[in-house]
Amino acid sequence: MFKKVLVANRGEIAVRVLRACRELGLQTVAVYSEVDRSALHVRYADEAYCIGPASARESYLRIDRIIDVAVRSKAEAIHPGYGFLAENDDFARACTEAGIVFIGPPAAAMRAMGNKIQARRTVSQQGVPVVPGTYEPLRDEEMLVAANQVGFPLFVKATAGGGGKGMRRVERIEDLANAITRARSEAESAFGDGTLYLERIVKPARHIEFQILADARGNVIHLGERECSIQRRHQKMVEESPSLALDEKLREKMGTAAVAAAQAAGYVNAGTIEFLLDKDRNFYFLEMNTRLQVEHPVTELVTGIDIVKEQLRIASGRPLSYRQGDVQQRGWAIECRITAEDAFNGFLPSTGKIISLHEPTGPGVRLESALYGGFEVSLYYDPLIAKLCVWGSDRATAIMRMKRALGEYKILGVSTSIPFHQRLFQSTSFIGGMIDTSFLDERFSMEQGGSDERERVAAIIAALLTHDRRQHALNIPPPTSSTRGGWKRFGNWEGLGR
């Protein structure tokens, strides 16, 4: 095993990886941008090095500076987390060339799966069903012709894409040319590669993905599925494991296909095979994510396997600690992605300083977070600020536990997605498991279903606050107007509740 590991990331995932390292007794190195000097990962690690200004392009994406820190600090391995450089094969290669172990797949496997068209070809050659679409890079005119064979509605997707970037939904051929232009431009600016492909929209469908682990000795296992159908504009908001849609037979079939897909790519380390599952229970390979996933904790909670520790073991050349037969799913786990977005205002990003924080705890609750009182949520980085995960003996227990934990979670200073999650966990469709990837965008609204009783209480509270202000209007300075929706500092409440 390594003695010292560098974590090339920030936020909750950097802390997650640092925790695994600490439990294994490894020394840790953090890197940070100028605005992250006080961030939790910097304070948590044994050593920390500044790698540039706030903009990720000048810091967390600077391969040269990160490698330089690794060499200077004598770190033997680098964990990239997710996002930033996690799926950048140039980075994986640069690590290898500098004599540092990249904790992830070999650059070649990453490249093969990172190129979505190539991945579609590789996987379909193994007999794994793939979403109907195109398999070769096409020019714009060729794409217009191919579109009719693929069928509408369809997605225009970036070959180098991910996370909804460079992706456009197209209903009619008339809209295709414009969608191609926009998607290409987005893909070029986000990934430096404007190659696109077409993919038929399978609908209704569930997004089901399989976690796999592969060691360098050719052992590949899967850790079961994650249900990720709760998506808002292709961004996952809630994940659970297992999925209500799978029985033991289908789980084994999809798991076997996932293992075959990983083997086809010569994959090593942790990865995820994403599938779509249609209403007739046909499944189609969507893509492979060659990294640790945001939602890995739900798999850890039901299998008891620490995926990050396995990643470290695999990268150090050790064999997997588990065989397929050892993997058992026990109970039910759910994760809510807590983002700094205003759920009541179209999920606009919200920024500001965390002025007060109360985190949920108690039985069956796991919180992955890098928040603290005083932390500044900025526009520079992803709005994901924490992941609230729960485990229960069954799905109903896990849902009740999540509702309980969400109610305890109080973040003041920025607007968050917590109210959205609370509404979702009141939805009878969600509780009944009647979900697919279009559920949030088409059959869920923040406006529906507010309670009359809470409305009345809100009216009383507002009247009491107004009354208090009137009573004190003569002896306190006028409060500064607060910024909308930020749950910012309220003003002087010295007259209240003594």
Partner 1 sequence: MRYTAIINDKTYEIEVGANNTVAVNGKPHRVDFRAIDGNAQFSLLLDNTSWEALVDRNGDEYRVLIGGDLNVVVVQDERTRKMAKAEGEQTAPMGEAIIKAPMPGLVRGVVVNVGDNVAAKQGVVILEAMKMENELRTPREGIVKEVRVKAGDRVEQGQPLLIIK
Q: With beta carbons less than 8 A apart as the criterion, state whether 425 and 431 touch.
A: yes
Q: Does 174 bind partner 1 (CB under 8 A)?
A: no
Q: Does 426 bind partner 1 (CB under 8 A)?
A: yes
Rule CB under 8 A: choose which of 253, 279, 344, 396 binds partner 1.
Answer: 344
Q: Does 476 bind partner 1 (CB under 8 A)?
A: no
Nearby residues of 253 by Cβ (< 8 Å), 6 or more positions away: 283
Q: Shortest gap between Cβ of 338 and partner 1 (angstroms)?
A: 13
Among 84-92, 140-148, 286-294, 414-422, the segment contacting partner 1 (CB under 8 A): 414-422
Q: Shortest gap between Cβ of 456 and partner 1 (angstroms)?
A: 7
Gyration radius from the chain CA atoms: 24
* Cβ-based nearer residue to partner 1, 304 or 479: 479
Q: Does 362 bind partner 1 (CB under 8 A)?
A: no
How crowded is residue 233: how many other Cβ atoms within 10 Å of its Cβ?
11
CA distance between the termini of the chain = 58
How is residue 119 written in tokens? 């991945």
Among 58-66, 211-219, 268-276, 448-456, the segment contacting partner 1 (CB under 8 A): 448-456
Position 173, amino acid: I
Q: Does 347 bind partner 1 (CB under 8 A)?
A: yes
* Cβ-based nearer residue to partner 1, 139 or 484: 484
Quickly list H helices, 133-247: 140-150, 176-191
Rule CB under 8 A: choose which of 145, 393, 466, 476 binds partner 1.
Answer: 466
Task: Identify whether 291 is a catalytic site residue.
Answer: yes
Which candidate in 16, 206, 291, 313 is catalytic?
A: 291
Q: Does 482 bind partner 1 (CB under 8 A)?
A: yes
Write out the H or E segment, with its range, that includes residue 414.
none
Rule CB under 8 A: choose which of 421, 437, 440, 444 binds partner 1.
Answer: 421
How is residue 216 written in tokens? 């360098």
Q: Does 422 bind partner 1 (CB under 8 A)?
A: yes
Rule CB under 8 A: choose which of 25, 127, 325, 346 binds partner 1.
Answer: 346
Q: Shortest gap between Cβ of 351 and partner 1 (angstroms)?
A: 7
How is residue 359 written in tokens? 């985190």
Q: Does 412 bind partner 1 (CB under 8 A)?
A: yes
Q: Which backbone phi and psi does 473 adopt, to 5 degrees?
A: -60, -30
Q: Does 434 bind partner 1 (CB under 8 A)?
A: no
Q: Does 423 bind partner 1 (CB under 8 A)?
A: yes
Nearest to 292 by CA among 13, 66, 91: 13
Q: Does 351 bind partner 1 (CB under 8 A)?
A: yes
Among 13-21, 30-38, 107-115, 481-489, the segment contacting partner 1 (CB under 8 A): 481-489
Q: With beta carbons less than 8 A apart as the criterion, state whether 64 and 389 touch.
A: no
Q: With beta carbons less than 8 A apart as the criterion, state whether 396 and 240 touch.
A: no
Q: Does 463 bind partner 1 (CB under 8 A)?
A: yes
DSSP state of 478: P
Rule CB under 8 A: choose which of 348, 396, 434, 476 binds partner 1.
Answer: 348
Q: With beta carbons less than 8 A apart as the criterion, state whether 390 and 365 touch.
A: yes
Q: What is the DSSP string of 248-317?
A: HHHHHHHHHHHHHHHHHTT--EEEEEEEEEETTS-EEEEEEE-S--TTHHHHHHHH---HHHHHHHHHTT
Q: Does 433 bind partner 1 (CB under 8 A)?
A: no
For residue 414, how many C-alpha atoms fall within 13 Å in the half-sphere facing its CB? 28
The DSSP bridge pattern shows strands 220-232 and 384-392 to be unpaired
Q: Which residues bind partner 1 (CB under 8 A)?
A: 163-165, 182, 185-186, 189, 233, 235, 344, 346-349, 351, 355-356, 379, 406-407, 410, 412, 418-423, 426, 450-451, 454-467, 470, 479, 481-482, 484-491, 493, 496-497
Q: Which residues are catalytic?
A: 291
